[in-house]
Chains A and B, each alone.
Chain A
Amino acid sequence: MLGLKKTDATLFLVVLGLAMLAPFILNPFPVGSGMAQFNAGYPDLMQRFVIFGIFAIGFNILFGLTGYLSFGHAAFLGVGSYAAIWSLKLFTLDVVPAIIFSIILAGAFSLLVGFISLRRSGIYFSILTLAFAQMSYALAYSVLTPLTGGETGLQIKNTDTPLLSNVPEGEIGRANFLGMEMGASHEWALGGWAFTFNLGYYIAAVAMLIAFYLSIRIFRSPFGMMLRAVKSNQQRMNYTGLSPKPYTLAAFVISGMYAGLAGGLMVAMDTQVGPERMFWTASGEVVIMTILGGAGTLLGPVLGAGFIKYFENIVSKINKDILHEWFAFLPDGFEDIMVSLVYPFVGKGWHLTLGIMFMLVVIFLPGGLVQGGQKLLGLFRRKPKQPEAGKADGTKPAE
Chain B
Amino acid sequence: MDQIIVQILNGLDKGSAYALIALGLTLIFGTLGVVNFAHGALFMLGSFCAVIMSRILSASHKVAVPGETDFLGNQLMRDQPYVYDWFGEAAGATIVDWAVPISILFAIPVMIGVGFIMERGLIKHFYKRPHADQILVTFALAIVLQEIIKYFFGANPIQTPAPEAFAGSLDFGTWLGFDPLTIMYPYWRLVYFLFAGVIIAGVFGFLQFTTFGMVVRAGMADRETVGMLGIDIDKRFTLMFGLAAAVAGLAGVMYAPIVAPNYHMGMDFLVLSFVVVVVGGMGSLPGAVAAGFLLGILESFASMPWMVDKLPGINQIIIYLVAIIILLTRPRGLMGRKGVMED
8 A Cβ contacts from A140-154 to B: 141-144
Count residues of chain B with CB under 8 A from any CB of chain A: 38
B327 surroundings in chain A (CB, below 8 A): 120, 124, 127-128
Which residue from B125, B150, B271, B316 sits with its C-beta under 8 Å from A142? Answer: B316
User: Does A358 contact B140, Cβ atoms closer than 8 Å?
Assistant: yes
B150 surroundings in chain A (CB, below 8 A): 349, 351
Q: Does B97 contact A (CB under 8 A)?
A: no
B136 surroundings in chain A (CB, below 8 A): 287, 291, 358, 362, 395
User: Does A397 contact B312, Cβ atoms closer than 8 Å?
Assistant: no
Say yes or no: A139-B328 contact (C-beta < 8 A), given A284-B139, A355-B140, A355-B144. Answer: no
Instruction: Considering the complex, give the chain B residue whose CB is closest to the CB of A139.
Output: B313
Q: Does A132 contact B (CB under 8 A)?
A: yes
Count residues of chain A with CB under 8 A from any CB of chain B: 45
Q: Does A359 contact B (CB under 8 A)?
A: yes
Which residue from B122, B130, B144 sits with its C-beta under 8 Å from A352? Answer: B144
User: Does A363 contact B137, Cβ atoms closer than 8 Å?
Assistant: yes
A121 surroundings in chain B (CB, below 8 A): 343
User: Does B271 contact A280, Cβ atoms closer than 8 Å?
Assistant: yes
Q: Does B274 contact A (CB under 8 A)?
A: yes
Instruction: Considering the complex, give the chain B residue whose CB is closest to the CB of A356.
Output: B144
Which residue from A142, A291, A396 sits with its C-beta under 8 Å from B130? Answer: A396
Say yes or no: A362-B324 contact (C-beta < 8 A), given A134-B271, A135-B317. Answer: no
Q: Does A79 contact B (CB under 8 A)?
A: no
User: Does B131 contact A397, Cβ atoms closer than 8 Å?
Assistant: yes
User: Does A142 contact B133, Cβ atoms closer than 8 Å?
Assistant: no
Q: Does B248 contact A (CB under 8 A)?
A: no
**Centre residue among A119, A124, A134 by max chain B CB count within 10 A:** A124
B341 surroundings in chain A (CB, below 8 A): 122-124
- Fill in one digit per residue for B117-133: 1 if any A CB lies within 8 Å of its CB, else 0: 00000100100001111
A284 surroundings in chain B (CB, below 8 A): 139
Provide the main secondary structure of the chain A interface. Answer: helix
Instruction: Considering the complex, give the chain B residue whose CB is closest to the CB of A124.
Output: B327
Tell me the number of A-to-B contacts counted with CB atoms below 8 Å: 118
Q: Does B148 contact A (CB under 8 A)?
A: yes
User: Does A143 contact B312, Cβ atoms closer than 8 Å?
Assistant: yes
Q: Does B218 contact A (CB under 8 A)?
A: no
User: Does B317 contact A395, Cβ atoms closer than 8 Å?
Assistant: no
Would you give the shortest CB distance from A328 to chain B, in whole angstroms? 24
Q: Does A263 contact B (CB under 8 A)?
A: no
User: Does A359 contact B140, Cβ atoms closer than 8 Å?
Assistant: yes
User: Does A123 contact B131, Cβ atoms closer than 8 Å?
Assistant: yes
8 A Cβ contacts from B285-326 to A: 312-313, 316-317, 320-321, 323-324
User: Does B316 contact A399, Cβ atoms closer than 8 Å?
Assistant: no
Q: Which 7 A-B pairs have the closest CB atoms?
A: A143-B313, A138-B316, A355-B143, A352-B147, A131-B320, A355-B144, A397-B132
Interface residues of B (CB under 8 A from A): 35, 122, 125, 130-133, 135-137, 139-141, 143-144, 147-148, 150-151, 267, 271, 274-275, 278, 282, 312-313, 316-317, 320-321, 323-324, 327-328, 331, 341, 343
A and B contact pairs by CB, cutoff 8 A, 21 listed: A67-B132, A123-B131, A127-B327, A128-B324, A131-B320, A135-B317, A138-B313, A138-B317, A141-B316, A143-B313, A281-B267, A288-B140, A352-B144, A358-B140, A359-B122, A359-B140, A359-B141, A395-B132, A395-B133, A396-B132, A399-B130
